[in-house]
Amino acid sequence: MKSLSHAATAVLQAVANGHGHGFDIMGITGLASGTVYPALRRLEDAGWLRSQWEDHRVARNELRPARKYYEITTAGEEALAAALNRYRGLASRANPPRARHATLKEGAR
C-alpha cells in the first residue's frame, strides 16, 4: 500500500470524521484549496474515497454552487489507519521519552 503524505492523511481523516465537502475539509484542516482538491482527486482515484454530487436543487435553493460530497471507503479506512500509525511512529522517534533516571532525579527535587 502506498504511504500517504501528511496533507493527504489530514484530508482523509477529515472525511472519515464527517467533513464531506471541499470547503468543510479546508476549514477543518487549514489546508489551501490547491492542496485539498488535488488530494481529494488522488484519494478517490486510489479507491480510498468515493464521491457524489448533491442534488442541484438543494444548492439552488441555498443560492450556492452544488457540492461534491466525499465518504471514506473500507480501503480508505485501512490506508488512514496505516498512515496514522506511521506518523505516530515518526513522532515517537523524533521525541523519544526521557530516560527514567532523569524523571526520578527531577522528582527528588
Residue-wise pLDDT tens digits, 50-91: 999 999 999 999 999 999 999 999 999 999 999 999 887 666
Domain membership of residue 1 (yes or no) is: no
Name every residue whose Cβ is closer than 8 Å to that of residue 72 and which is 6 or more positions away in sequence: 12, 15, 16, 48, 49, 80
| Domain with 42 in it | 6-108
CATH of the domain at 63: 1.10.10.10
Q: Specify whether the CB–CB gap between 31 and 77 falls below 8 A.
A: no
Q: What is the DSSP letter of 55?
A: P
Domain membership of residue 104 (yes or no) is: yes
Domain membership of residue 54 (yes or no) is: yes
At residue 87, the pLDDT reads: 82
Name every residue whose Cβ is closer than 8 Å to that of residue 43 and which is 6 or more positions away in sequence: 8, 11, 12, 15, 49, 70, 76
Domain membership of residue 72 (yes or no) is: yes
Domain membership of residue 21 (yes or no) is: yes
Number of compact structural domains in the chain = 1
- Output the pTM of the full model: 0.77
Q: Specify whether the CB–CB gap between 2 and 51 falls below 8 A.
A: no
Domain membership of residue 30 (yes or no) is: yes
What gap in Å lies between CA 33 and CA 26, rounded to an integer?
A: 7
pLDDT at 33 over 70: yes
